[in-house]
Amino acid sequence: MITRRTTLVVPKRVHEGLKAHLLPGDGLEAAALLLCARVGQRRQKLIVREVVLVPHEVCAHRAPDALSWPGTYVEQAIDRAEPEQLSILAAHSHPGGLFAFSEQDDASDRILMPALFHGTGQDAGSVIMMPDGRMRGRVYDAKGVQRTIDLVMCPGDDIELWWPDGANHGKPPVAFTSGMSHWLRRLSVCVIGVSGTGSIAAEQLARLGCGEIILIDFDKVEVRNLNRILNSTTSDAEGEAVKVEMFAKAIRRYRTDCEVIPVAQSIATRDAVLAASEADFLFSCVDTTEGRHIADRLSAFFAAPLFDVGVAIPTRATAEGRAIADVCGRIDYVQPGGATLEDRGVYSPASLEAEYLARVAPAVHRQRIAEGYLRGMAEQAPAVITLNMRAAAACVMEFIARAFPFRHSPNRDYARTTFMLAGGEEEYASEDTFQANGKLPVGVGLKEPLLGLPALALPRTRS
């Protein structure tokens, strides 16, 4: 069960630029202002969308433990933040490595925070950065009541998590230990699609110890998919149980300390998108182009690391009929600001359009669903749980490798993993293999229309 109230997300590219400015190597403090989108109803997530740097040369005083700078940069930040209702966090460095707010910081906040709140009408806060890049922060409301930022997350090739108690001095516990499970209990994951690969991924995430699991799927359990959805029973199929409700009950039977949130809707609905936006990590286990398109946008707009898994069994024609050509799986890790699934060719505008056309032609759509696993062969109940297990395990393992690094080579080398079981091959593609086109804005948050899609816009109220 997650008790934290506030999270700050700083995408790696933003963090790198911020660190270069705040810690230029001269041992003196420096300052910047972070403009943040706000997300979440059950708890607040602040996502750094833009940074206003305070030039070193304009500061009236810079010392190893003190700093003063002109208010014109506060005015500049307010002018940018106020129209879009962004929150402003004042950031400065602690070159000496003090992982705590000093009395001088407290005194500065008493002056600056009311001005930031008055200028934007939103909660404001302050953040400190250590020489190793760790960050710690706090937020103030309209009455000046302070609350700690419970987690600062910096998603990049590695996913860095910084807790205010300085746990492990910013270093994650060793992977696969009880220490890892303890950290996972503080985190929220969202599994989009709770069927073949999704039910397996969700089961693993629950048993690993994740504190909150958001399950999104509109579909019901059927007899034909009992052979590949974990925890499903014949009574679930006969009673047309909703997949996410069935799976939530199963997790609750062995995890009393996990909050499970079932969302029985398509990910292409506003409510589902809002639910997914509150998670720290996204797992895309869908079999549709539209689902991956939405997952791509969720990852960018809410700066959430995305793990996407897909499987396929292409077939070929032979004199005797059809035969297996290969048995394949693919896992992609998408970091905020990096190459998206579209950039990597997982889907395209053309494939999105083709899927839409198939959906409005039911007969064609049914045929494509039937061929979802074994391409070229219609199979209503494919026996693919072993393939799904292999792929889903690789997907969750990728998550562990990013948050609790254990590889001998850099995680950047594993932006994509593909395996081809017919030939016993496994290949990896580096983040540098793909070209990020920057088409999707990072950290936009809840700006309307939601995800930049008119179909998800807030419904208009009649006057």
Query: What is the pTM assigned to this prediction?
Result: 0.94
pLDDT for res 462: 61
**Tell me, what's the pLDDT at 43?**
93
Collect all residues with Cβ–Cβ distance below 8 Å to 312 and sequence separation of at least 6: 328, 329, 373, 375
What's the confidence (pLDDT) of residue 406?
A: 97
419: which 2 tokens? Answer: 């395996």
Strand partners, 142: none
> Which pLDDT belongs to residue 394?
98
Q: In the prediction, which pLDDT does 223 show?
A: 95
Q: Quick one: pLDDT at residue 113?
A: 96
pLDDT at 175: 98
Strands 306-318 and 328-334: antiparallel
Phi, psi of 392 (to 5 degrees): -65, -40
Cα–Cα distance, 103 to 298 (Å, whole number): 39
pLDDT at residue 234, as a whole number: 97
Phi, psi of 97 (to 5 degrees): 90, 10
Q: What is the DSSP annotation of 14-65?
A: HHHHHHHHH--SSS---EEEEEEEEE-SSSEEEEEEEEEEE-GGG-SEEETT
Distances from the Cα of 108 to the Cα of 8, 47, 67, 144, 151, angstroms: 21, 23, 10, 13, 23
Given CATH 3.40.50.720, say whether it is the number of domain 6-170. no
452 is written with which tokens?
């930049």
In the prediction, which pLDDT does 316 show? 87
463 residues of the chain, pLDDT tens digit each: 788 999 999 999 999 999 999 999 999 999 999 999 999 999 999 999 999 999 999 999 999 999 999 999 999 999 999 999 999 999 999 999 999 999 999 999 999 999 999 999 999 999 999 999 999 999 999 899 999 999 999 999 999 999 998 877 889 999 999 999 999 999 999 999 999 999 999 999 999 999 999 999 999 999 999 999 999 999 999 999 999 999 999 999 999 999 999 999 999 999 999 999 999 999 999 999 999 999 999 999 999 999 999 999 988 888 888 889 999 999 999 999 999 999 999 999 988 877 777 777 666 555 555 555 666 655 566 788 999 999 999 999 999 999 999 999 999 999 999 999 999 999 999 999 999 999 999 999 999 999 999 999 987 766 5
Question: Would you say the C-alpha torsion 423, 418, 190, 225 has a positive or negative sign?
Answer: negative
Strand, coil or helix: what is 117? helix
Class of domain 178-455: alpha beta
DSSP β-ladder status, 31-39 and 44-54: antiparallel
How many angstroms separate the Cα of 70 from the Cα of each of 32, 53, 54? Answer: 12, 12, 9
User: How far, CA to CA in Å, does 397 sit from each of 63, 307, 344?
Assistant: 45, 10, 21
DSSP state of 197: H
Q: Which two tokens stand for residue 376?
A: 């070229």
309: CB partners within 8 A, 6+ apart: 197, 201, 283, 284, 285, 329, 330, 331, 391, 392, 394, 395
Domain boundaries, the chain: 6-170, 178-455
Which DSSP string do the residues of 202-249 spell out, in sequence order? HHHHHHHT-SEEEEE---B--GGGTTTSTT--HHHHHTT-BHHHHHHH
